[in-house]
Amino acid sequence: MTGSELDIADAKAATEEADGRIAADANIRRKRAALRRIEAGERRRLASKLDHVLRDHGFALRYVPRLTLGTEPSGDFLCGAELIIGIVHRRRGVVPLEMYLRELNRPNTVAAIIAEALAEAAAEKEAHWPPGWTIDLAITPRLGDLSALRAAISGIPATRPGRFTLAIDEAALIETGLDALSAIEELHADGFNIALAQFGGRYGSLSLLRELPISGLKLDRALLGEDGRPHSADLVLLEASIAIGRDRGLTVIADGVETERQAALVRGLQVNAAQGPWIGPAMTASSLARILPVKFHR
């Protein structure tokens, strides 16, 4: 081949390669558009199904009890609970709605459900529990959901300051972007406590502790290890997270405590409180009231 022929061949190859890339990019765009349509359709079907179930059955509230841990078991006492919003299933009992609300891209619907649940929980708290108890509720950190929630709960007098803690998944907040920080600060200004949930599972972000008006940390249950035997790296993270929370004056809660060994681990590390199957399952307000000890937190 002559030089000119080689140039022509190279140009042709380059053109074919460019055409191939354009075709591949177009194919990727078509696939992504198709996935977005499928996801939008799934969200619509989910929203329709959720509306139908809530209209027919309403929702049920359950509470996961939280225990303050003393240096000895004799010093333990119940001090609050995590609120679970669920629907009643005839075979599976109460099915938590958190996963559905997390996936549902309808901020006003999500906000209306949470606002109604908070109002009902406030009434149950007044009827059954000590005044010093706080109730935690997990919420999604999407900006639209937070803005809609603030509007929905603004007229509920039962949600007075200090009664509720809004728990926000640390990883979800980082991965969805930090545009929600101002909305979270506004909810705090309205009187809600703010906690970072699943803390230390993936990030352990110190910057969030500086940026947000955090009052509590809920440690990721994976840090506790299998039956209270965490790997050395997880134990370092666990100890560091607790130390950070203590230094900043935060309430540190060990989540997902399932066994006596895990309870002994977090007791030895001096967390403020623990929750999980070892303390008690999710239960109704009246059932939780029946197991209150004589000594409770005020």
131-156 pLDDT, tens digit per residue, is: 778 899 999 888 899 999 988 887 66
pLDDT in the model for residue 17? 63
Alpha helices in the chain (DSSP H): 3-57, 98-103, 107-128, 143-153, 170-175, 181-189, 206-211, 232-247, 260-268, 285-290
Tokens of 42: 């799934």
Query: Which CATH number is associated with domain 58-290?
Result: 3.20.20.450
pLDDT band at 211 (very low <50, low <70, confident <90, very high): confident
Instruction: Report the pLDDT averaged over residues 17-38.
Output: 62
Q: pLDDT, tens digit, for every residue of 275-288?
A: 999 998 999 998 88
SS3 state of residue 59 = coil
CA distance 41 to 36: 8
| pTM metric for this prediction | 0.78
CB 261 within 8 A of CB 227: yes
- Report the DSSP beta bridge partners of residue 65: 81
